[in-house]
Every structure is written in structure tokens, then in C-alpha cells.
Amino acid sequence: MTEFSRQEATNLPTDPYADPKVWRKAMVKYQQPSRAKASWQLINTLLPFVGVWVAMYFVYDVSPWLTIPLMILAGGLCVRLFIIFHDCGHKSFLKSKRAGNIWGFITGILTFTPYQFWHWEHSIHHATSGDLDHREEGEVWTMTVEEYEKSSKWLKLGYRLVRNPFILFTISPLYLFLIWHRFSSKKAKLSARLSVLWTNLGIAAMFTTGILIMGLKKYLILQLGVCVVFSSVGVWLFYVQHQFEGIYWERKSKWDFVAAALQGSSYYKLPKVLQWFSGNIGYHHIHHLSARIPNYRLQECHDAEEMFEAVPVMTLRSSLACVKHRLWDEENSKLVSFKYLKEYRAKKKNAA
């Protein structure tokens, strides 16, 4: 299918689902967690993850270079673990809140993410996604063209650096997961802030165990390699879910929840193997419409419900075009590249 367009987005078949009672009723039947499916997902993710680490331990002594394919595999499994972590925070993965919190904490350590604090931040993202007046917690830094033009030269430079693809998908992800997540915010509740501390202690214990078993050099090289893959893929997935052609963004006064979900979150149709590793998160439009649907039921919901038939599809190939997006042109309701600034400035000059 083609890349998203604003025209396609505004023609999505939200009726008769414009009434919240209608679409909520349609989503309820998919919100029931399955202990069997959740348990199988934990088994088919955690056991291979441990197995790959064991393989890396032995293969490294033959040749560190031979561990690269295994690092990629472990990184992919780490992405899948993060989706489990993500679902636990939404209380959708398991029916038992206690079990969900336990597994959320464990997978949070494995993915370097504080469970309660991250989900406090993530809840803000769900509540404000697509709202131009609330681009704060848990978002990719995005400025409007007008905001960029009014910024100082140093802020412009900083923004260009942050939005540079190399930094955005390599350095920034590592900084986010390894350093940024080690700290909390005073805005969060005490329990959320304490989760950062407990996660840090868990990570310290994991590192200590790994170093004692493998040695400092081997463990750090392997762990860093896995983190590079996991963090880069994770940030890429989040980026293309909310930074694509035809994206929905409105000021608070015009913001609409259903439109923000169906038009502001992508349907990223990945090859089956990548869909498995990414835990069906490509059905992001459904996730934002109903976060209580477990990842293992998202495809079922998408295939069964008529309201999703005309949702534009973004493929792996077409998603590469998302890299060019840098700024939001509020006047024309579209994402633009830095090259657009020359045209924008010429228009403003002529208008003056």
C-alpha cells in the first residue's frame, strides 16, 4: 500500500464509531487477557533470550565477531520483552494485577526501563498524543516551523542535532535507555519515583552477576551490543508510529481522541517475523484506541472490525520516508523537512 496522506486520514470510516459507546463496545471483547497466551509469550521470549545469551557466552571465546548475529537476535527478543513490559503497565497482559506488576518489573530490568515510572510517563503520551499543546512527556521532540524560526541559533543547532537520523536512532536510544531512565521526575508520584531506584538496583545486580560469570570485558561488550540493537529498533518503532505522512496533530481545542488514535498512530504492516519480534505493536492505531487490548489480540481485532478496513498501511519500505520529517507545518497540517524552511521563509517575505 501507499504512504499515508492527509486526505486518506481525514476519510477514515470512523462512523458509526464516532459515538464512544459504539467503538468502546466493539473493543471490549478483545480486552480480555488470556493466561495461556500470555504464559506462552513469556516462555517463547524469555527462554530463547536466555538461550541466546548462553550461546553468546561460548561463541565469544571462538570469535567476538561471530556473536554479532546473536546480538541482533538477542536485541530483537529484547524488543519483544519490552512489548510484554509495555502491556503489563497497561494492565492488559495478564488478568492478575499482581502477576502483571511482577513480570513488568522483571522485564523492566531486562530492558533497562523503570516499570511504574515509565508507565506514568507513557500514560501522559496516551492522553495527549496528537495534541500540539502537550508535546511533553514521552514524545519525540518535534517543533513547529514557526517555533523553530523563532528559536535562538543554539536551540536550532541542538534541535538539528537531535533530529539527525544517526543521532536519533543510535546515540539517543542508548542515552535514553542506559542513562535517562536511571533518573526520575518530581512530577511523578513517590511510588513511580521509587520504581526507578528499584530498577537501578535490579540492573546493578544483573550487571554484577553477568560480570562475575563472564568477566567485565566480555559481558560489557555483549550487553552493549544487545542494547544498541534493542534501543535503536525500539526508538525507530516509536518514531514511525507517530512521525509519518498524514499524521494527525491539532491544538487542544480541536483535538479528538478517536482521530488521534486512528489518524495519529500508524498501522505498520511488517513481515511476519518482524511482527513477531515487535509484539504486534505495528497495530498501533488500535493500541491507542484501546490500550487494554493485549498485544496478542491486536491482529484479531484489526482483522475482525470493519472500522479498520480503510486505515492506510505503512510498510517497511514506505516507512523509510519518515526519516525526512523534521518539523510540523501547522499552517498546512503536515510534517516537513528542513529544506522546506527556504520555501517557508520566501512565502513570509513575500507576504510582508
Q: Which of 140, 142, 129 is nearest to 255 (CA)?
A: 129
Residues of the chain with pLDDT under 50: 1-14, 16
Q: Could you read off the pLDDT of 176-191 as tens digits, one per residue?
A: 999 999 999 888 999 9
Residue 49 C-alpha cell reads as: 533470550
Strand partners, 334: 329
8 A C-beta contact, residue 5 and residue 246 = yes
Return the pLDDT at 50: 98
> CA 90, CA 95: separation in Å to the nearest integer?
11
The residue whose grid cell reads 498512530 is 265
Q: Is the dihedral of CA 318, 323, 238, 132 positive or negative?
A: negative
What's the pTM value of the predicted model, to 2 decimals? Answer: 0.91
Return the pLDDT at 17: 52
> CA 196, CA 185: separation in Å to the nearest integer?
10
Return the pLDDT at 148: 96
Return the pLDDT at 14: 45
DSSP line for 314-328? EEHHHHGGGGG--EE
DSSP annotation of 313 reads: E
Q: Could you read off the pLDDT of 55-85 as tens digits, one per residue?
A: 999 999 999 999 999 999 999 999 999 999 9
User: What are the residue ranges of helices labelled H in the chain?
Assistant: 6-10, 20-28, 35-62, 68-89, 97-110, 115-128, 145-150, 153-162, 165-166, 172-178, 190-214, 216-242, 257-264, 272-277, 284-289, 298-304, 316-319, 340-351
Query: Pairing between strand 334-336 and 327-329?
Result: antiparallel
Domain residue extents for the chain: 6-351
Return the pLDDT at 352: 66
The residue whose grid cell reads 459504539 is 22
Return the pLDDT at 19: 67
